[in-house]
Copies of this chain bind each other. A is one copy, B any other.
Amino acid sequence: MPHTKTFPETSAVELRDRLLETVRQQMPVPFTERDAERALAALLTTDNLWEAIRLSRVPLRVLSAFWHRLIAEGLLEAHDGALRLTESGQALAQALGVAPVREATCVHCEGRSVDYRTLPEDVVERFAEICRHRPEAIQDYDQGFVTEATTLARIAFAWHRGDLEGKQLLVLGDDDLMSIAAALTGAPAYVLAVDIDDRLIQFINDVARREGLDRLEAVRYDLREPLPTSWLRKFDTFMTDPTESFLGFKTTIERGLLALRGPGCAGYFGLTHVESSYEKWAQIQRFLLDSGVVLTDLIDDFSAYVNWGYIESMRSWEWLPTHRLPERPWYYSALHRIELLRTPALENAAVEGDIFTDEEAATT
């Protein structure tokens, strides 16, 4: 080991607690001892800024603040997109008993538990071909789409769970093109994609026509508006990748639940660490239970996002202590599957105001 332990354990704990206290005073985002430990573990594992974000599992807003505190205390150096713990920083991590992250992810399915290669080969090939011409992700609608393997794996997962074949599927916001991948399987009875972005509506409808996918349709819809009456209680399954402000998340899931026929129907959504603390995860889990739902699956790091073009203008860019564009996916989300146990008492009302931003938001 190159660095000897220069901190006695108690003074390391004191220093950590002081760092935590300062960060908490600066930031309205929960930041726990364990979060600090995860952030240090990530810094022991990689010097790549983006890789450190991925491994930390801590909202980027508070993670950046923590990094700045470490830099101010001489525990971390940030240059040219690289983050390096100083000797003191390494000694602190060691004195706190923090170890590097030891990844155990299955390389075959990239940690998804399902293998998209179980889909018919022509689905995978046609989807890849279609994706070559997809619309760019834009910031106006908090877009950022997942890798093709991710979209296909979500569809394979839903098929496995009995949520696809013979079912009516609603995709709420579809820059990931889940509706197209689902329709290509030929399994669903009907697939409706709704999105606020006219480019996507046109793209999906064009693909449907060109590929002969006559059970696929896309319609423009703004989630802030009530769900049209003709969609209420009409679907078996919904899929969505919601914006993660609590209001935006809640609104999206409520629209999805209102669209479901009733008990036994299922929903899929993603949730990140970059924009949501475990406190927010718990708040969301309570909201789901209160809505008559059970959580049946939760696979972290299931969804990998292709780096979007507006990365330098996202709100978190200026929080970073050093800047370099990411070379690999770094923004991941956890796949959640929920199943409705009883018909929820939800209002189908319009929502006012900013549904994209809360204290933990990073990419809008």
Contacts and interface: CB of A to CB of B under 8 A. Distances in A.
Given A33-B264, A102-B118, A285-B289, 14 more contacts: A32-B341, A33-B263, A34-B263, A101-B160, A102-B160, A104-B118, A106-B114, A112-B113, A278-B296, A282-B341, A285-B295, A286-B289, A295-B298, A298-B299
Contact of A166 (B99, B160, B187, B263): B99
Interface in A272-288: 278-279, 281-282, 285-286
Top 3 nearest A-B pairs by Cβ distance? A34-B264, A108-B108, A106-B109
A159 B102 CA distance: 6
A294 interface: yes
Which of the listed residues A35, A104, A113, A279 has the most CB atoms from chain B within 10 Å of its own CB?
A104
A226 interface: no
A32 B295 contact: no
A103 interface: yes
A160 B104 CA distance: 6
A107 B106 CA distance: 10
Nearest to A106: B109
Give the residue among A119, A157, A298, A339 with the most B Cβ atoms within 10 A: A298
A228 interface: no
A326 interface: no
A300 interface: yes
Contacts of A77: none
A202 B120 CA distance: 52
Nearest to A339: B278
A47 interface: no
A162 interface: yes
A97 interface: yes
17 contacts: A34-B264, A34-B265, A35-B264, A37-B162, A38-B162, A97-B167, A98-B166, A99-B162, A102-B160, A103-B160, A104-B115, A104-B119, A104-B159, A106-B108, A106-B114, A109-B113, A298-B299
Contact of A296 (B99, B111, B281): B281
A43 B104 CA distance: 35
Contacts of A293: 282
A156 interface: yes
Contacts of A166: 97-99
A206 B132 CA distance: 61
Contacts of A297: 298-300
A235 to B, nearest CB: 14
A341 B159 CA distance: 34
A168 B336 CA distance: 30
A102 B295 CA distance: 21
A52 B297 CA distance: 21
Interface in A86-127: 97-99, 101-109, 111-116, 118-119
A341 B280 CA distance: 11
Contacts of A98: 166
Interface in A295-352: 295-300, 339, 341
Nearest to A293: B282
Nearest to A158: B104
B102 A106 contact: no
